[in-house]
Amino acid sequence: MFSLHIDTARTWRGGQNQVLLTVNGLREIGHRAALVAHPDGELRRRAAEGLELIPLAPRTEMDLSAAWRLARVVKRLQPAVVHAHDAHGVAMASLALSLGGTGTQGPALVASRRVDFHLRQNSFSRWKHRQVDCFICASEAIRQMLVADGVPPDRTVTVHEGIDLDHVRSAPAVNVHEAFWLPHRAPVVGNVAALVPHKGQRHLIEAAHLVIQQMPDVRFLILGEGELRDSLERLVREHHLEKHVFLPGFRTDVLGCMKGFDLFVMSSVTEGLGTALLDAMACGKAIVGTRTGGIPEVVEDGETGRLVPPRDHAAMAQAILNMLADDEQRRRMGEAGLARVQARFTVERMVAETAAVYGRLAGRHHAEDTAHHPARG
């Protein structure tokens, strides 16, 4: 099976990591996989070894020049499946395949859906989504949202994202107290996410304000970068939390930092699944998360962590306090979380399920081609 993957992002976030894990994982099980990536993007840089790489990205969602170039790539390579991993990738692939030149039966078009946002309803968005043969959804919550938006259920499938457990295990632990100049015995609550509105760090800082009033020793580390840095730092100052809440920015040693946390908190308002949750659980950390999107599919309330309503910083604060007050509970939940990731959220499982989707689609396309052209059967 030969699949051509498309991701147009210039930055590096969880979605780009999933693309790289998928492409490398497919190659490890004997599939041929090529990657179309942003010429100046971090994904292209990290995927530079051992992959068929095509540097290409659209300037806008309706970039016909980029679509023509992709159409030529598809015609030359003849993949069985084109797998678009982001919204601009879906648009470029839809345009490219509609431009023709891929033979009487072109490749199947697969689109990954990793966010629990509703589909846009403008005419171009509706058209491009009709070109998709199958949406691979990172959580059941996302799949249900697509169906509610009018996508036929038989064109959707849930494949939970996965992580590379060996990579997590091999990451050197970071002494976060030394690395961030924290008091030696201070409990550390960590969050790892882009600083963007739907990740809800504003609510985490509000919760921290309440936690500190009862447990003054606690320190909060929010690792990530994004558009909300200035407003979040302003909120920290307004609550006089400069000695308790830290925003160190993007870190390349984030897994090692996670190993130094006492508790991991995901404060998202919306969330497709949350691979940072999987990483934290693989590091043996108990979780406080919000009951939104795909998070309840990862965190078992009362077993691997605690779930609270999104935007409810009082409930979040109380859950954090309860968890920090009970070392044994955190240890038990951390062990249960690791076991859950090992059983359900490995990259090997994700890749196998993705390959199975490709196989079904390729078989369906072959059957359709044979029906229209019996002499080829």
- Tell whether 35 and 84 lie within a shared domain: yes
- Tell whether 281 and 335 lie within a shared domain: yes
C-alpha span between 184 and 39 (Å, rounded):
44
Please name every residue paired with 36 in a beta bridge, in sequence order, or none if there are none. Answer: 6, 54
Q: What is the pLDDT of residue 365?
A: 59
For residue 307, give the 3-state DSSP assignment. Answer: strand
Please name every residue paired with 110 in a beta bridge, in sequence order, or none if there are none. Answer: 83, 134
Interstrand relation of 263-266 and 287-290 (parallel, antiparallel or unpaired): parallel
Q: What is the pLDDT of residue 116?
A: 87
Q: What is the pLDDT of residue 376?
A: 33
Q: What interhelical angle do 275-282 and 14-28 show, nearest 10?
A: 70
41 CB-near residues (< 8 Å, 6+ apart): 7, 9, 10, 11, 12, 16, 57
- Domain hosting 270: range is 165-344
Total domains in the fold of the chain: 2
- Tell whether 77 and 154 lie within a shared domain: yes
Q: What is the pLDDT of residue 122?
A: 87
- Tell whether 127 and 223 lie within a shared domain: no
Spacing of C-alpha 260 from chain mean position = 22
Ranges of the chain whose pLDDT falls below 50: 103, 369-377
Q: What is the pLDDT of residue 7?
A: 97
Q: What is the pLDDT of residue 50?
A: 66
Is residue 352 within 8 Å of 29, Cβ to Cβ?
Answer: yes
Q: What is the pLDDT of residue 305?
A: 98
Q: What's the full length of the chain, in residues?
A: 377
- Tell whether 37 and 108 lie within a shared domain: yes
Q: What is the pLDDT of residue 363?
A: 72
- Tell whether 327 and 283 lie within a shared domain: yes
The pTM score is: 0.90
Q: What is the pLDDT of residue 101?
A: 52
Q: How far apart are the first and last CA of the chain?
A: 19
- Tell whether 193 and 242 lie within a shared domain: yes
DSSP state, residue 117: P
- Tell whether 155 and 188 lie within a shared domain: no
Q: What is the pLDDT of residue 48?
A: 73
Q: What is the pLDDT of residue 86?
A: 95
- Tell whether 157 and 32 lie within a shared domain: yes
- Tell whether 143 and 205 lie within a shared domain: no
pLDDT digits (tens, 9 = 90+) for 201-221: 999 999 999 999 999 999 999
- Tell whether 311 and 237 lie within a shared domain: yes
The CATH number of the domain holding residue 350 is 3.40.50.2000
- Tell whether 21 and 97 lie within a shared domain: yes
Residue 308 in tokens: 């609270």
